[in-house]
A and B are shown apart, each in its own frame.
Chain A
Amino acid sequence: MRRGRWRTIVALYAAAAVVLALGSGVATQAQPPRVLVVAQSADMATGDPAKNTGLATIAVLANIYDTLVHRDASLNLKPGLALSWRAVDPTTWEFKLRKGVRFHDGEPFNAETVKFSFDRMLDPKTRWPGAGALQLIKAVTVVDDGTVRFTTSQPWPSMPRFLGYYGMIVPPGYLKQNGDDALARHPVGTGPYRFVRWVKDDRVELEANPDYWGGRPKISRVVIRVIPTDAARVAELLAGSVQLANLVPPELFGALKTSSKTKLVVGKSLSVFFVIYNLVNIAKDKPLADPRVRQALNYAIDRQAILASVMHNVGTPVATFCTAVMTGCDTSIPPFRYDPGRARALLREAGYADGFDFSISGTSGTYPGDRDITLAVADQLNRIGVRARVHVTEVGVQLRAVLDRKLPEDGWFTRFTDFFGISTIIPLPAFYSPGEWSQWRPGYAPFNQLVEAAQAAPDEAKLREVSRRLQLMYKEQAPAITLFTAPNANGMSRDLEWTPRPDLELTMFDASWNRR
C-alpha cells in the first residue's frame, strides 16, 4: 500500500514528463499554409459596426461588411455597394445601388437596407461614437429599390470619401428578428468574408463568401488572431504560424528583414506625429506666443536623423498637418529643413538668445516609437539652447488634461490620423480653436476662418485651393513641431501578397498566396 503510493507519485511525475515531451511532436508539422492567419494587437470590440469605431474593430469588420463606396489601397474611390453616385444639387447626393446583392444570411440588399443602416447609425440611442463625422447627413430617402438620396445640411463635396470608411451596411431583418446583441456577437454583412466564429480576445474566424459580388476571394479561410505583445506577434511570423502582423514597432523591423521567411512591407500612412504647443490662453510675453520661436523649434529638429535612429528609416518628414496620400495635400510645400543656425537666429530675434524652459508631455508604448521620438526631439532642442524636458504620462490621463485644457506641459507629443484621407480634416479637431483637442486658444482668427472655409467648400476644387492656403498658413504660424508620418509597417510571410492599406483595414479580399 505504502509502496503503491510512492509508485503513484513517481508515475505522475513520469506521466507529466512524457506529456511535456510528446507535446513537441504534435505541434511541429509545418504544412503549406492554407488558412491565412493574421495577427493584430487588439481584438475587435464588437461585431456591430454601429457600436464602435476602434481601429481593431473596423480592421476586422471591413472583411464582413461593405460600405457604399470602396477605396483601393491608394484610397481612390471605387464602386462598392453603390455602383455610382452624383450630386443632384449642392446638398443632395444620389447613390445608384448594386442589384442582386444578398447578406450572408440570404437577406436581400436594397435601398431600404441602406436607409435602415444610416438611420440606425445616426440615431443617438445607438450611441455610435462615429456619428459626429456624419452629422451633416440630415436625411436618407429611398427613391426606388436601387436608388437612395442623402440630404445634407450644407454642401458636402467629400461625402463619398467619408462613406468609403464609415457606413457599413447591416441587415435589417436579422437585427429585427434577433436584436442588437446578436449582431454584436455574430456579424452578418454583404462582404467578401462570412463570419464563422469568435473566441473573444483570441481569434475571429472567417470564410470566403462564394457569392461575393466582387468575385470569390482567393484565400478561402482567414483567422484574425489577437496577440497583444509585439515580440510574440513577430515570433509567430518568424515561426511561420502567422502570415501577416500589422503595426509592427520599429525595434522589431530588423528581425523581419533578416529572416528568410518574412518581409517588412510598409504602407502609405494617414498619421502624423506632432509636438503640439500648449497655446491655451498664452500670455504675450511667453516665448511660445511668438511665431518665430515656434518656427525656431521646428528648424531645430533633424527629422531624418530621428527617422534613421528610432524608426529604422520608415516614415517621411511632413511639412504640415497632412500626408501625401490625403486629398488636397500639397506635397510641393517642403517640410522645415534641419537648420540649427536659423533656429538660433530666430530665437535671438525673438529675444530668447539664452533659450527657455520647454516641457513635453509624452507617452510610452501608446504610439510606435513614442517615447524615443519625444526624447530625441528634446535632445535636439537642448542643442539650440532650449531646456527641454519630457514627462511621460499614461495616455488616458494625458488626453483628459488636453481635453480640459489643463495640460501642465508646454507641448504635447501625439499622433493625429485621418482615416477619411482628406487634407483638411486633422486641423479641425487639432488646431482650429473650438476643436475638441485644440490647444491653440483663443488662437489665430485667419486660420480659424480658413478651417471653416474648408468645411464649407462647395466642391473639391475649392477644397484643394483652401487646403493649400491653410497649409501655408499653418507652416508660417507653426502651432506645433511637425515631425513625420507614423509608420504603417507590416510583417508578412514571403509567400503572401497583399498591399497594406493606409486606413489600416485588414481586408484580405485582395490577398493571395505567391507559390514559389
Chain B
Amino acid sequence: MSGYLVRRLALSATAMLGVITIVFVLLHVSGDPASLLVTQDATRQDMERIRQAYGLDRPLSVQYARFIARVARGDLGYSYRQGLPVTELIADHLGATFELALASLAVAILLGVALGMAAATRRGSGVDTAAMTVALLGTSMPSFWLGLLLIIVFGVKLGWLPISGYGGWDHLVMPAFVLGGFYAAQVSRLTRTSLLEVLAQDYIRTGRAKGLRDRVVLFKHALRNAALPVLTVLGLSFGQMLGGALIVESIFAWPGMGRLAVQAVLGRDFPVVQGATIVGAAVFLAVNLTVDLVYGWVDPRLRSAAQRA
C-alpha cells in the first residue's frame, strides 16, 4: 500500500511539473505584462524598468530555471499588480472557494442522489421522466444564464436573497445552487444508471426473497454498491470546484480562486497565474488521491486486492 502511495505521489509531482511548464510557456508567449501594467501615459523607459525589475528581460530559459528553483523552496513570488506575496493572495481566496465548493458539493450530492434514486426506483414512471428532464436541464443550462435568472427572480423581484457578494450563508444559496446544480445533474444520471444496474443483480433478488424491506435493500445493499462510480465523479467534480468556478464566481461576485486566476491571466500577472495553477493542480491531485483511498473504505474488495498486491 505504501509503495502504491509513493508511486502515486511521484506521478502527481510529475504531472504538476508538466502543468507548471505548460502554463509558463503559454503565458510568456501570449502577451506582455509590462504593457498591461502601465497606463497609456507610460514611456518605453517605464516599461523597460518594469521588465528589468521583474526579470522579464532575461532569456525565457533563465526565467524558467529561477522560477522552478523558487517554487522548490515554497516561494511563489510577488504579484506584479498587487505587490503582495502570491501565497497570501491565494490564502485570501482559497477560503471562499472552499466554502462555495463544499456547499455546491452538498447540493450536488443531496439533489443528484435524490433525483437519481427517485428515477431508478420508479423506472419508466412519470417520476423517472421528470427527474431526468430536470437533470437534462441542469446540464444544458449555461450557468451564467441560470445565475442571472435566479438573480432576477430571487434577488430583484422577490428580494429573498442577496444578489451577490461574500458574507453570511444566505450569500451562498444561489451560487451553490447554480454550481452544485450543474454537477447534481450529472450525479443524478449516473446514480440512476448505476443503481439500475445493481438492482438487477442476483444478490438484490436474494435480499428481497429473504424478506428484507425495500428501504433496507435500497440503502444498505444497492446504494452502497452503486456509489462507486458516483464517488469518482463527485471527487473529480469537487476537484474542479476547488480550482475555482470562474463564471459562477463572477456573476455572484464571489471572491474565490477562479476570479483571482482569471484576473491574473488577463493582466499577465505571471506569478499569480503560476501560483494559482500550482495550488489548483495540487488540490486536484490531493482530492483524487483521497477519492482513491475512500474507494477502499467503501469497497473492501479493493482494500484486500491492494493488500494482496
Which A residues fall within an 8 A CB radius of B?
2, 5-6, 12-13, 16, 19-20, 23-28, 30, 42, 45-46, 48, 51-54, 124, 127, 129-133, 135, 180-181, 184-185, 199-203, 225-229, 231-232, 235-236, 238-239, 241, 394-397, 399-400, 403, 416-420, 425-426, 428-430, 436-437
Contacts and interface: CB of A to CB of B under 8 A. Distances in A.
B304 interface: no
Given A12-B110, A202-B255, A241 B83 contact: no
Contact of B166 (A24, A27, A202, A229): A202
Given A229-B251, A436-B43, A53 B38 contact: yes
22 contacts: A2-B215, A19-B169, A28-B160, A30-B159, A52-B81, A52-B82, A124-B49, A129-B38, A130-B42, A135-B45, A201-B93, A201-B255, A202-B166, A227-B253, A232-B163, A232-B251, A235-B152, A236-B155, A396-B32, A400-B30, A416-B40, A429-B40
B202 interface: no
Interface string B30-52: 11100111111111111101100
A184 B82 contact: yes
Which one of A24, A45, A202 has the highest number of Cβ atoms from chain B below 10 Å of its Cβ?
A202
Given A200-B255, A202-B253, A400-B30, 18 more contacts: A27-B170, A46-B82, A124-B53, A127-B53, A129-B46, A132-B41, A201-B255, A202-B255, A227-B165, A236-B163, A239-B163, A396-B31, A396-B268, A399-B35, A403-B47, A418-B41, A436-B42, A436-B44
B210 to A, nearest CB: 14
Interface in B152-193: 152, 155-156, 158-166, 169-170, 173
> Top 10 closest A-B pairs, CB basis?
A396-B31, A201-B255, A24-B160, A132-B46, A202-B255, A51-B83, A227-B253, A132-B43, A202-B166, A129-B38
A503 to B, nearest CB: 12
Interface of B: 30-32, 35-47, 49-50, 53, 81-84, 89, 92-93, 96, 110, 114, 144, 148, 151-152, 155-156, 158-166, 169-170, 173, 213, 215-216, 219-220, 250-253, 255-256, 259-260, 263, 266-268
Contacts of B40: 416-418, 426, 429-430, 436-437
A44 to B, nearest CB: 9
A123 B29 CA distance: 30
A400 B32 contact: yes
A430 B41 CA distance: 9
B213 A2 contact: yes
B110 to A, nearest CB: 6
Contact of A231 (B148, B158, B166, B219): B148
Contacts of A135: 43, 45
Contacts of A236: 155, 163-164
B122 to A, nearest CB: 17
A181 B110 CA distance: 44
Contact of A226 (B36, B161, B220, B253): B253
A239 B159 contact: yes
A127 B80 CA distance: 10
Contact of A241 (B32, B38, B162, B170): B162
Contacts of A132: 38, 41-43, 45-46
A52 B152 contact: no
B253 A228 contact: yes
B36 A228 contact: no
Contacts, number: 190
A45 B39 CA distance: 14
B252 A232 contact: yes
Contact of A403 (B32, B93, B169, B219): B32
A229 B219 contact: no
B110 A399 contact: no
B41 A429 contact: yes
A399 B36 contact: yes
Which one of A135, A239, A425 has the highest number of Cβ atoms from chain B below 10 Å of its Cβ?
A239
Contacts of A227: 164-165, 253
B230 to A, nearest CB: 16
B89 A200 contact: yes
A398 B130 CA distance: 48
A24 B158 contact: yes
Contacts of A199: 166, 255
A203 B165 contact: yes
A427 to B, nearest CB: 11
Contact of A229 (B39, B89, B161, B253): B253
Contacts of B253: 202, 225-229, 232
Contacts of A52: 81-83
Contacts of A226: 253, 255
Nearest to A129: B38
Contacts of A51: 82-83
Contacts of A229: 144, 164, 250-251, 253
Nearest to B148: A231
B148 A201 contact: no
A20 B173 contact: yes
A24 B161 contact: yes
B35 A403 contact: yes
Given A132-B46, A184-B82, A228 B259 contact: yes
Nearest to B252: A232
A395 B148 CA distance: 26
A241 B170 CA distance: 14
A2 B173 contact: no
A394 B152 CA distance: 30
Given A202-B166, A232-B253, A46 B31 contact: no
Given A232-B251, A396-B32, A181 B39 contact: no
Contacts of A400: 30-32, 35
